[in-house]
Structure 1
């Protein structure tokens, strides 16, 4: 079912449709997303061995694109990705981003050195392909800011700090090299006032929205399984940060997505 004519179209820039939480009902989940105005979504592969199944989902549904990389929490368990491997994957028409990659010292600090190596591999792949880098950062703000800044000086690349919940310094560092900040359901939680203030300091032209489904559902679904349809709920709350209507914010973040994810924009909703 397409979105109602009065429902603003929006993009879920980061979801995980391959996760078993959606087994047996992906058709219904995607149909609900479309009914809520989420006409496009990017489903993210977090372990390269799972790339075939993520690719298959993107191939099966109009408006669904994909990205692939090695999640930092898996970096010590998986074979080290190579630049050549990631560049080869990027040849697929619906492959639109590199990652997610990044640094997570909250749960995986013991693999910090491996994570940093993996991150730099993904950065080089983003450089070579021109596709945006999709960054996960948790309890690693200083190293993340340092590496992104160092690497950008060595050669530019684009990207997004996905599910942004870090501090203002990392937000500034990312914005300074042209990155975008993506708001998940966490940003819509009632007690996330400080986080919303960090977002408010950023240009609205650099903001994306996402679900990170099946995790981090926004109110009133907090604590339950998240799904792409709920992008609209997070967007409606975040629109207030910039004093915009939900429809205006949806238009703005969709334009932002198209500016960053140029390959997805070129293919369009029907791809």
Structure 2
């Protein structure tokens, strides 16, 4: 056992070329910082073999796959059955990231919505959590998630949540989780911190989305999983908790939502 506060980076991109020269060192630094688990997210099928290799090579790393909404236009559509088949990998723990992004790719809104519904159905069938990317599409996002959840319930995390209070409430009302990224630690993000402060503590996760969105004091530099702890410290302040208590709550939340990762770890320890 260790006295180090432990936490999970629930969303990162370890397969990105930003980490190619020192991937193992990046993972080692995370573990040293108390970040004992990482979920590396695959956003294109062409990258899946590399992502699987990373998760298979390190006990601390799990993976998820989905077609990123900004990639829908140039990515062959995936089917529910294909996602279900991929999910049979022992370290595949989530469906996504999927979602809607009208900030850069509003011209593909219809295709994004169709892809999102496929991923919702796969999450419902597998029981694995849906991982949502939402930007500049709050109304459609809330509507589609509500429609699909009513059709076939699923669990979900709003990854890197930085949307409106209305979308946050809609997600929470469906039983979903909100994930805090480095954005929540930016000095000008008080409105976002206020949204998180109204959420139940048992629906909060933390993440880096690395290599993007490094929190202070690393803002503007390449992000990495070790920096999850900086966001967690801000999260603890938001909820008025000691870091250890906040970290423990988010660990419990991760185990509940990403149950397959928790079960894999228990099986390895047995």
Correspondences of 1:178-189 after superposition (within 5 Å) = 178-189=175-186
Q: Does 1:89 align with 2:89?
A: no
* Structure with the bigger percentage of helix: 2
Instruction: Work out whether 1:109 is the aligned partner of 2:96.
Output: no
Indicate the SS of the match to 1:87: helix
1:222 alignment partner in structure 2: 219
SS at match of 1:12: strand
Distance 2:68 2:149 in 1: 21
The equivalent of 1:150 in structure 2 is 147
Which runs of 4 or more aligned residues in structure 1 lie more than 4 Å from their structure 2 counterparts after TM superposition?
none
Q: Distance in 1 between matches of 2:3 and 2:219?
A: 26
Tell me if the contact between 1:63 and 1:268 (Cα under 8 Å) persists in the aligned partners.
Answer: no
Shift of 1:99: 0.4
Instruction: Confirm whether residue 258 of structure 1 aligns to residue 255 of structure 2.
Output: yes
Shift of 1:267: 1.0
- What CA distance in whole angstroms lies between the structure 2 residues aligned with 1:128 and 1:5? 37
Residues of 2 paired with 1:204 and 1:79: CA distance?
A: 38
TM-score (norm 2): 0.98
Partner residue of 2:76? 79
Q: 1:190 aligns with which of 187, 197, 214?
A: 187
Instruction: Report if the CA contact (8 A) 1:90-1:96 is conserved.
Output: yes
Partners in 2 of 1:181 and 1:268 — Cα distance?
23
> Which residue of 2 is the match for residue 234 of structure 1?
231
Question: Shift in Å at residue 268 of structure 1?
Answer: 1.5
Task: Give the 3-state SS of the residue equivalent to 2:15 in structure 1.
Answer: coil
DSSP 3-state at the match of 1:62:
coil
Question: Counterparts of 1:197 and 1:92 in 2: how far apart (Å)?
Answer: 38
1:100 aligns with 2:97: yes
Number of residue pairs matched by the alignment: 268
Long gaps (5+) in structure 2: none
Partners of 1:230 and 1:49 in 2: CA distance: 28
Counterpart CA distance in 1 for 2:24 and 2:52 is 16
Match in the other structure for 2:199: 202
Answer yes or no: is the 8 Å Cα contact 1:101–1:122 preserved in 2: yes
Is the aligned partner of 1:14 residue 2:11?
Answer: yes
State whether structure 2 residue 117 is matched by structure 1 residue 131.
Answer: no
Paired with 2:87 and 2:239, the residues of 1 have a C-alpha distance of: 35
| d(CA) in 2 for partners of 1:268, 1:255 | 14
TM-fit CA distance, 1:18: 0.1
What is the CA–CA distance in structure 1 between the aligned matches of 2:209 and 2:4, rounded to whole Å? 22
Q: Deviations over 1:113-134 (max 9, x none)?
A: 0000000000010011000000
CA distance in 2, matches of 1:132, 1:198: 22
- Superposed CA deviations along residues 127-155 of structure 1, whole A, max 9, x for unmatched, are 11000000000000000000001111111
Structure 1 segments unaligned to the other structure (5+ residues): none
Per the normalisation by structure 1, the TM-score is 0.97
